[in-house]
Amino acid sequence: MTNQQSSLDLMFQALADPSRRSIVERLCAGPASVSELAQPLAMSLPSVMQHLQLLEGSGLIRSAKVGRVRTCRLQPEALSAAETWINQRRVLMERKLDRLGEYLRDTAGDEH
């Protein structure tokens, strides 16, 4: 198996899990600490760490520890600019629809 193929397999494996996909989506919005990434996931911290190790092994993310805080960030070289943009857009559209919900709640008393 060539170097190219094995790194591709790792990338596909990394993105084949919904929790790992949600981690990648979160990192599209910027770097985050391990605890930030773990918060929305319904799993133990060791499980989160396993996911992060796999993602780091695939080259999709990298992490650095400063003091007691480990911060993860997306490796932009792993995805083309267009793919990164599509991921960012997904996050953006989800947030917009969330804010539409808040707006509708806030204006529920208004009459048109």
Partner 1 sequence: MPSSVIHDTLVLERDYVATPARVFAAFADPAARLRWGPPSDTVRMIYEATDFRVGGQDIAWCGSGEALSYRVDTRYEDIVPDTRLVMTETVSTGGVRLSVSLITITLIASPGGTRLVLTDQIAALDDSDMVAGSRVGWSASLDNLSRELGLAAEPA
Binding site for partner 1 (CB under 8 A): 2, 4-5, 8, 11, 76-83, 85-86, 89-97, 99-105, 107-108, 112
Closest separation between CB of residue 97 and partner 1, Å? 5
Closest separation between CB of residue 2 and partner 1, Å? 8
Let me know: does 60 contact 74? Beta carbons within 8 Å: yes
Q: Which strands make up the sheet holding 32-33, listed edge to edge?
A: 32-33, 69-74, 61-66
* Residue among 46 and 109 whose Cβ is closer to partner 1: 109
* Residue among 3 and 68 whose Cβ is closer to partner 1: 3
* Residue among 48 and 79 whose Cβ is closer to partner 1: 79
Residue 98 is encoded by which pair of tokens? Answer: 């969330």
